[in-house]
Structure 1
Amino acid sequence: MTDVTTSAYRERPWLARYAEGAPADITPEHPTLLHAFRASVARGPGTEAIRYFDGVLTLAEVDAASDALAVALAERGFAPGDRLALYVQNDPAFVIGLLAAWKAGGAAVAVNPMNKARELTYLLTDSGASALLCLDELYESVARGVIGGGATQVATVVTCSPLDWQTRDDPRLFDGVRRTRPRGTLDLRTLVGQYAGRAPEPAAPAPGDVAVLTYTSGTTGEPKGALNTHGTMLFNACTYREWMRLTSEDSILGVAPLFHITGLIGHLAVALLLPCPLVLAHRFHPGVVLDALREHRPTFTVGAITVFISLAGAPDAAREDFASLRVVYSGGAPIAPAVTEQFEKATGRYIHNIYGLTETNSPTHAVPLGAQAPVDPESGALSVGVPVFNTVVRILDEEGAEVPVGEVGEIATSGPQVVPGYWNKPEATAAALPGGELRTGDVGFMDAEGWFYLVDRKKDMINAAGYKVWPREVEDVLYGHPAVRKAAVVGVPDAYRGETVKAFVSVKRGESVTEEELIGYCKEQMAAYKYPRSISFLDDLPKTATGKILRRELRDVRA
């Protein structure tokens, strides 16, 4: 890594864009989020921590429930350094499980609840998780087969219901849902009652200790566990607090999935730090979230642009529904300038852009609060903002040298929010984080005023509504179908998701298969955001002289 203190970016020209009075650098007042949470509980144990439909949990109640779960896990062999996988939606159980893992001296593994058996098996095996906190319905439909197969190290399974900690049972989400206690598992609510009043042995994680493994796809397509440490998570929780000027008088609308880095930091971590109420609604449903806006009147949220498009476009949405939102940010997928204009016209609220990655614990760039992002006159791209506190961002050419202002290159980031590496993958760490500077794989440029713009992605990763999809994973599933001879997957523009997944397939001689059959085949084996939405059949796929399929040529095919 080039020493950024001697680079062309040393002066941080973007500091002139900061809001008036904002510092160039910040220093968290706590060593970890667990310390911050304990301080929050001590200051106001009766403060509302979670609002979940008609249910409310105070800080003291969340503290007691996570204490109880930590003790229960420890009594069943969960030791310091172990991992607890969280396979739930945006439910109170996620918050309780995360804190319990830390209190027991371990770390959490954030698992996408849309993952199917193949994906869950990989994550549990790779992370070496010894315990699993799982929605009862996901245990019955997915996890039971994975755990029972003996391929993982999971020894303890705790199940929970999305109906826990509320009584409204909204039929739009919970029609037909019943609490179950799957055989061979422990029930979370039962454990919380059974171990009420007990506390685990005091845990004091260090800033450099792993807090959460969040999985992201890499250059080989194999998911990698980013080492989100207590220190990196805390720093960007503080970044949200200071950049968005949030206080304990605010409340946060949790529209981003908590397993995703945006929800994990921009919702949960910030709420624990301030502290302030976190409004959860199990999973995103436009009508349900609109009702949460009307009922709980949250003041801040951050989410994918598709969330805001859905909310503003809901049939019964009214301008007044959004009036409580003092601060709105969006990241995870590119935003068209016209979309921000349309949203502001419909709701009266301006969407500030924000940019970051799993490996940076959410933001590295953000539009200063109160400012409006400029639009690049040549590309029409909306700026993703300027680097946040303590952060140096460089634009590099293919050889790793800095390019002049205004020229396009790879975005490379250094700062306290950057993870130290990937779980048990030293080669991937060395490639992506030379000297601790993250080579993002995203391509962009900085203008003379310090504003940054994303132009394209260096890699072939597909970004579907903020969810990253690696083509090779989808191709591997397609190749499992007996009729498929060759397959290639690319991202194509989509008006709603930004990008969506398209597959090109050549069929084996003598075989036949329809587009609907192949899509259904993939749908059974993959999370909903991954499977191809369309498939084109070609006699053959374009290749290099060495036989490598040329995805870039397929992007222009309209077959």
Structure 2
Amino acid sequence: MTEKLWLKSYPEEVPTSLDYREIPLQQYLSEMADKTPDNVAIYFMGKEVRFKELQQYAYKFANYLQKLGLQKGDRIAIMLPNTPQAVVSFFGAMYAGCTVVMTNPLYTEREVAYQLKDSGAKLIVTLDILYPRIMKTWKDTDLEHIVVTGLKDFLPFPKNVVYPFMQRKEYGFKVSVEHQGVNHLFTEILRTSPDTAIPIDEAFDFNEDLALLQYTGGTTGFPKGVMLTHRNIVSNVQACAMWTNDYRIPEDEQEPDVVLGVLPFFHVYGMTTVLALSVMMGFKMLLVPKFDATELLKTIDKHKPTLFPGAPTIYIGILNHPDIAKYDLSSIKACISGSAPLPVEVQDQFEEVTGGKLVEGYGLTESSPVTHSNFLWIDRRVKGSIGVPWPDTDAAIMDTTTMTEVAVGEVGELCIKGPQVMKGYWNRTEETAQTLRDGWLLTGDMGYMNEDGYFFVVDRKKDIIIAGGYNIYPREVEEVLYEHEGIQECVVIGVPDPYRGETVKAFIVKKEGAEVSDDELNRYCRKNLASYKVPRIYEFREELPKTAVGKILRRQLVDEEKAKQNDNLA
């Protein structure tokens, strides 16, 4: 490998390598419960859970799992929004030696069944309103137990009394489950199970034991289970803690951070930067079960979070809220944006509104997830760049046909090495071999590195548009569109064209009250882009399809266009 150019950009205060304690993830909860038992670990809709309480709840859950006969390595699915029950189940499963399978509550019956069957999960923790969905699928899986909880279970009085009536009004039904047979009530587990400590397994292997089986989004083919070890997650969280630590202030003068938990825990980014980081570092996490811009602004104004991991669509939603000026957002000191490219315009506006720092980072499920970020506390940020590799992380731009590095400034595939890189894909030896090659993780993202060691992602390998022989990177076109004052969100794809092979189509969501036309955008883009990159087709929509973490589903739009083409041919 050539010289690690990024190391010369590291400030003195930021170490290029870290020492990793080879202990399981759950041990950090035990340490915080001993060190700061009365500090608030979780705030959820008026309910506070302190670190000692959290440990006791997790012990109760772990003891119950062992009573049911679950053993080391058994998979436990958690299908919950961001709630205290999700945190308790996560660490309880770890204490019992099990492997967690985070499952999206928005999944359809088919998607749930696939993930449960592929992972071989023996138990699932889910919401009462999702219970009917599980009952329609569980007999086709390896599930032996279903643990049911409700949002009201951790709500304070009188919210816990009112909630069932609200639930019936919103969903049209109220689920009633008995604590018997394959069904287990979360409240009964916490009421009856002992909170006796569970020691670390003597056979624990920091480098090999799986903490998490995290499924990819499945944008290409079926979702794959990414095997993440305790080493993968602990190393990434330690690096995150170091990177977000404000080293301008002596450590003994710093107050524990308050982390805004709007990123869903069933996404690896939220699991690492909110759930695991908060517990490992003794921070308070403000749990937000779903993104609503108004409620999020109220939470920031009232509870003063300092760390705000997020995604571009979340920041965009806040910036475009009509009443943003009514709320005090000045508590926010640091935000790392991930899951999708961060438009420069969004970064500038958000920093101006909050006074905090918002930087773009980069990661993927296969790397636990973060590998790169811009610096937070020094003026070495490069806008439009994903930043530099984190400590102990190697990165290279490769020609993956020969596995050789390309020259500085040239575009190739971004490849990663580091302690956060996955063990492999669950039960997929061939796909693991294709993705982990010669010790490198092939990301599928095309990018380049500049002479200072900063990396730039130009697009997904499979998203490149080839029009008339020219390579067009959607992100470049999107950056220009985001600078237009009338555009709130946009995404660019390639669509079939009989003359050029492919041509550029842009999907646009206008800002409220904005008047934007095809002709105006065409003139605007021709001033800012080479003619072959200018979109030939514009489609205006009320909203764009997104994942739960707010990432725009580009592939869904591509599939829609293909379906239209097939219909026209038919």
TM class by shorter-chain length?
0.7 to 0.9
Match of 2:328 among 301, 314, 321: 321
What is the alpha-carbon distance in structure 1 between the residues aligned to residue 65 and residue 504 of structure 2? Answer: 42
Sequence identity (%): 31
**Partner of 1:373 in structure 2?**
381
Q: For the residues of structure 1 that align with 2:353 and 2:376, how far apart are their CA atoms?
A: 20
Number of positions where the alignment pairs a residue of Structure 1 with one of Structure 2:
477
- 1:44 and 1:91 map into 2 onto residues whose CA distance is 21
Conserved 8 A contact 2:315-2:346: no
How far is the alpha carbon of 1:197 from its aligned partner? Answer: 3.2
Cα deviation per residue 1:343-398 (whole Å; 9 max; x = unaligned)? 223333331111000011121000011236324xxxxxx10111010011000114
Classify 1:218/1:139 alpha carbon distance in 2 versus 1 (closer, same or farther; 3 Å).
closer
> How far apart are 1:113 and its partner, in Å?
1.2
Matched, 1:68 2:71: no
Q: Report the residue type matching 2:167 in the other structure.
A: V
Counterpart of 1:408 in structure 2 is 411
* Correspondence list, 1:189-228, <5 A: 189-200=187-198, 202-203=200-201, 205-207=204-206, 208-217=208-217, 221-228=221-228
Aligned 8 A contact 1:319 1:347 in 2: no
> Which sections of structure 2, spanning at least 5 residues, go unmatched?
169-173, 247-253, 465-473, 479-492, 494-502, 511-544
Q: What are the ranges of 5 or more consecutive residues in structure 1 without an aligned counterpart? A: 1-6, 376-381, 465-470, 472-489, 498-521, 544-559
In structure 2, what is the Cα distance between the partners aligned to 1:211 and 1:284? 27
Counterpart of 2:86 in 1: which secondary structure? helix
Q: Does 1:155 align with 2:157?
A: no
The residue number in structure 2 matching 1:239 is 239
Deviations 1:137-188 (A, max 9, x none): 1112x211111xx111110110111222223749999982267442552111
- Given that residues 181 and 187 in structure 1 are in contact (C-alpha distance below 8 angstroms), is that contact kept between their aligned partners in structure 2? no
2:406 corresponds to which letter in structure 1? V
Q: Offset of 1:200 from its aligned partner?
A: 4.4
The reply to whether residue 284 of structure 1 matches residue 291 of structure 2 is yes
Once the 2 structures are TM-superposed, how far is the Cα of residue 328 of structure 1 from its aligned partner?
Answer: 1.2
Give the aligned residue type for 2:205: A
User: What does 1:368-517 align with in structure 2 at a 5 Å threshold?
Assistant: 368-370=375-377, 371=379, 373-375=381-383, 382-399=384-401, 400-460=403-463, 493-494=506-507
CA distance change for structure 1 residues 103 and 410 in 2, over 3 Å: closer, same or farther?
same
Whether contact under 8 Å (1:107, 1:212) holds in the other structure is: yes
Equivalent residues in 2 for 1:40-439, closer than 5 Å: 40-140=32-132, 142-147=133-138, 150-167=139-156, 169=159, 176-177=166-167, 180-183=175-178, 185-200=183-198, 202-203=200-201, 205-207=204-206, 208-217=208-217, 221-245=221-245, 249-318=256-325, 321-370=328-377, 371=379, 373-375=381-383, 382-399=384-401, 400-439=403-442
Distance in 2, Cα, partners of 1:114 & 1:413: 31
Counterparts in 2 of 1:164 and 1:281: CA distance versus 1, 3 Å: farther
- The aligned amino acid for 1:42 is D
Q: Following the alignment from structure 2 to structure 1, what is the Cα–Cα distance between the partners of residues 240 and 35? A: 21
Relative to structure 1, the CA distance from residue 90 to residue 81 in structure 2 (aligned partners, 3 Å threshold; closer, same or farther) is same
Shift of 1:297: 0.9
Q: Deviations over 1:102-121 (max 9, x none)?
A: 11111100111111110000
Structure 1 counterpart SS, 2:324: coil
Query: Which stretch has the larger CA shift, 247-256 or 104-113?
Result: 247-256
Q: CA deviation at 1:199?
A: 4.1
SS across alignment from 1:413: strand
Secondary structure of the corresponding residue to residue 297 of structure 2: helix
Q: After TM superposition, where is structure 1 displaced by more than 3 Å over at least 4 residues in a row?
A: 168-175, 178-181, 196-205, 217-220, 460-464, 490-497, 527-543
| Whole-angstrom distance in 1 between the partners of 2:353 and 2:326 | 6
**Cα distance in 2 between the residues matched to 1:131 and 1:279:** 27
TM-score (norm 1): 0.79
* CA shift in 2, pair 1:243/1:76, >3 Å: same
Q: 1:332 offset after TM fit, Å?
A: 0.7
- Secondary structure of the residue aligned to 2:443 is strand
